[in-house]
């Protein structure tokens, strides 16, 4: 093993530019309701000039193995990073996906769509409850449920259109 690899390089800190870019992705992760560490890892991979393995991330970001593994898993889950196989190396190396279209699409499909879908199911259950209501309560409630369903449909349709808008 090369003495220049591994923990030794941990002290070889990130440049100010690196840190600023990572900070930017930490904020993005926050907006998207993802753990901070996910933002850190993506930011590091984004700014890195070469693919990095789990330990590279862990050491440079000074985070635990568990967080790193979990973070990479989440990023893989919606296609924000890609795995690169290096000849003669058992480790997995990762590269930041740079197509905004792909990332946005993966994110909406994996992290948003399930919520929208479960909302749809819930509205169906609510509509069943509506049938058990008194006739006088019914009319106004029905309007509200219709409105809910209308929102749900518009949200469903807007997701894919949004992805078109973001371009690719």
Partner DNA sequence: CGGTATGTTCAGTAATTAATGAACATTATG
Partner DNA sequence: CATAATGTTCATTAATTACTGAACATACCG
Closest separation in Å from C-beta 157 to a copy of itself: 8
Q: How far is the CB of 10 from DNA (least distance, A)?
A: 13
Cβ 6 vs Cβ 55: under 8 Å: yes
Q: Which is nearer to a copy of itself, 26 or 72 (CB)?
A: 26
- Which SS3 state, helix, strand or coil, does residue 49 take? coil
Are 69 and 23 spatial neighbours (Cβ–Cβ below 8 Å)?
no
CA distances from 2 to 9, 69, 111 (A): 11, 24, 40
Q: Which does 149 bind (CB under 5 to 8 A by kind): DNA, a copy of itself, none?
A: none
Pairing of strands 92-96, 81-85: antiparallel
Joined tokens for residue 37: 């560490």
Taking contact as CB under 7 A, which single stretch among the options 47-55, 106-114, 121-129, 132-140 is the one that binds DNA? 47-55
Residues numbered 107 to 146 that lie near a copy of itself (CB under 8 A) are: 112, 115, 118-119, 122-123, 125-126, 129-130, 133, 140-141, 144
Verify binding: residue 67, DNA, rule CB under 7 A. Answer: yes
Nearest distance, CB of residue 16 and DNA, angstroms: 21
3-state secondary structure (DSSP) of residue 8: helix
Q: For DNA, how many residues bind (rule: CB under 7 A)?
A: 26
Closest Cα to residue 75, out of 47, 95, 48?
Answer: 95
Q: How far is the CB of 88 from a copy of itself (least distance, A)?
A: 25
């Amino acid at each position: 093993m090369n003495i220049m690899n591994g923990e030794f390089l941990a002290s070889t800190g990130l440049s100010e530019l690196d840190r600023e870019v990572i900070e930017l992705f930490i904020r993005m992760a926050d907006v998207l309701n993802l753990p901070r560490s996910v933002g850190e890892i993506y930011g590091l991979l984004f700014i890195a000039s070469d693919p990095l393995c789990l330990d590279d991330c862990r050491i440079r970001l000074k985070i635990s193995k568990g967080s790193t593994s979990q973070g990479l898993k989440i990023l893989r889950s919606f296609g924000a990073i890609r795995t690169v196989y290096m000849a003669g190396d058992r480790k997995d190396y990762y590269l930041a996906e740079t197509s905004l279209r792909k990332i946005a699409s993966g994110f909406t499909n994996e992290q948003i769509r399930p919520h929208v879908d479960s909302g749809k199911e819930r509205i169906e259950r609510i509509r069943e409850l509506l049938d058990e209501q008194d006739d006088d309560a019914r009319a106004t409630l029905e309007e509200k449920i219709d409105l809910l369903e209308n929102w749900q449909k518009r949200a469903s349709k807007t997701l894919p259109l949004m992805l078109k808008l973001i371009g690719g």
